[in-house]
Amino acid sequence: MQTLTSEPAVSLCDANQVRAAHATTTAELADLLRGLSSTTAKADRLTWTVGETAAHLVLAHRLYVEFAGGVRTPWSAHEIGTHNADLISQLPERGGPALADLLLEAADAFRTTTAGYAGESLPWYDGKKLTTASMTAVLLGEELIHGRDIARGAHLPWNITPQAARLVIGGVAPVLPQFVNMDTARGVTATYAIQVRGGPRFAAEFRTGTIRISAEPRGAVDCHILADPVAFLLVAYGRLNQWQPILRAQLLAWGRRPWLGLRFKGLLNNP
């Protein structure tokens, strides 16, 4: 059974910056939804429609408002996918403008509820706790990635800035242990040092199906990875095959076992 182990327990992104980025991205996503003539098109890389994807984002924010209020869920983060269909059915609204309003309301409620908890940890999935910065980064990642899914499904542009990607990576890094792929990580012993260009750096230590995240490696590093923030984010969330950014020198690996760089994504499930 995988173990959530993370050192330090704090987020690797600035709380104020990630809150500001979340507010900006929510507004951009609301504008995107308001401009849709229909939400019945299939979202890119998903089985959901554009409208269902937007409804998922509304419900994700509402769930995090509950987390911020102290509500706990027995689910682990990797089990949420099995509950998504039921959750989405609880919000039948599919109109773009209406979903935009609901998203703005839920996102504002989350930021308002967490405003007084800077630096504190709040309940998350499966009894775990997250800092408010990491919780906000998780939601920002949902908006950036699903905003892209919605925009591409509707044949519209969507921009993910390097700074927003850096904030998501720094905030989500401490919860990567929740996303270990037990099939591919079983028996793997390796230490990675990840450096995001212009952003956070952290170590990921895999041992017998578990992973420990820390600000610095505790011992010898097997593989160093230098990553463009947007490329790393899209690969991590399963929206981009790693070979394209590798060929563009957006993902570089070196060290005593550099070939492990090709395996890193496969050791984790999509966040």
Domain boundaries, the chain: 8-172, 180-267
Residue 135 contacts residue 122 (beta carbons within 8 Å): yes
Q: Does domain 8-172 have CATH number 1.10.3720.10?
A: no
Least confident window among 143-157, 168-182, 220-234:
168-182
Q: How much is the pLDDT for 129?
A: 85
- The whole-number average pLDDT for the span 76-89 is 72
Six-digit token string for 110: 């989350």
The CATH number of the structural domain formed by 180-267 is 3.30.1050.10
Least confident window among 41-50, 67-76, 95-104:
67-76
> Is 12 a residue whose pLDDT tops 90?
no
> Is 1 a residue whose pLDDT tops 50?
no
Six-digit token string for 96: 């773009």
Average pLDDT, the chain: 91
First to last CA, the chain: 18
Q: How much is the pLDDT for 10?
A: 53
Q: How much is the pLDDT for 127?
A: 76
Q: How much is the pLDDT for 5?
A: 45
The CA distance from 1 to 153, in Å, is 37
Question: How far does CA 166 lie from the centroid of its chain?
Answer: 11
Same fold, 8-172 and 180-267: no
Using alpha carbons only, give the angle 200, 210, 207 rounded to the nearest 5 degrees: 95
Cα distances (Å, whole numbers) of residue 71 to 24, 91, 111: 27, 20, 16
Residue 135 contacts residue 64 (beta carbons within 8 Å): yes
Angle, helix 229-236 to helix 162-172, in steps of 10 degrees: 50
- The whole-number average pLDDT for the span 167-177 is 94
- The whole-number average pLDDT for the span 148-173 is 97
| DSSP result, 9-56 | -S-SS-HHHHHHHHHHHHHHHHHHHHT-S-S-SBPTTSSSBHHHHHHH
Alpha helices in the chain (DSSP H): 15-34, 50-68, 80-89, 96-114, 132-153, 162-172, 182-185, 229-236, 243-247
> Is 15 a residue whose pLDDT tops 50?
yes
Residue 179 contacts residue 209 (beta carbons within 8 Å): no
Q: What is the pTM of this model?
A: 0.93
- The whole-number average pLDDT for the span 161-181 is 94
